[in-house]
Amino acid sequence: MTDPTNISEDMLKKPGRRNWLRNAAMAATGALVLLLVLNGCTKEQWDHLKNPGGGVGGAQDTWYNLKVDYTIKKGKRAVGYLAPVGDNGGTPYYSYMRILDGPATKFRVHPASDGWQYLETDDGLWLTLSYGGFVYRDSQKSVAWKIVDGKLYSDYSRWKDYPATSDLYGGLNGNIFAVEGYYVGVSQGVANELTNCELVPAP
């Protein structure tokens, strides 16, 4: 009597068995792709899935920059990347996020639910949002993010219907920020909304 749990090499070599294994693998891959599409995967994640390099799970090890279009002086638009103020910003504002002309902070994507994603920074912190509406880095993974129609949203209950924005603070403005820059928040006016937001592979 043969052991039904013992699959011999000969069985694996049979065309019927090979076809069944191939079809099962294809069905599982199709289900995963459908799940990612329904949960709003980004273009970069889709490209990575089509050409994963290190398997589907490898996408979580990829680092990205968060590229945005934002409003500068006189209503003109520019392209920039999210970056922290840095240690020269003065406590407690060094972790607040502003926009720089070139790539700066790197992010790693961690799935949350319903297409939301936690964004881990390259210094081991997490992109989050303050009660007052400013975007900053924190040690707690508490706020998830989603790009919808090119705009960046958070799942913070107070601000979840408000897309990310930016405005000029610091320097001659005489406010709390010691370093002048376009600081990222969520309630700085429709004209200041960030558009064409995109996670692009970091160099």
Domain co-membership, 17 together with 49: yes
Query: Which residues 6+ apart lie within 8 Å of 119 measured at CB?
Result: 66, 107, 108, 109, 110, 126, 127, 145
| Residues spanned by the domain of 26 | 9-58
Domain co-membership, 100 together with 112: yes
pTM of the model: 0.68
What's the domain count of the chain? 2
pLDDT digit string, tens, across residues 92-113: 677 899 999 987 899 999 999 9
Candidates 68, 52, 51; CA nearest to 199 is 68
pLDDT digit string, tens, across residues 107-142: 999 999 999 999 999 999 999 999 999 999 999 999
Domain co-membership, 94 together with 46: no
In a domain, residue 20? The reply is yes
Contact 116, 122 (CB under 8 A): no
Domain co-membership, 31 together with 114: no
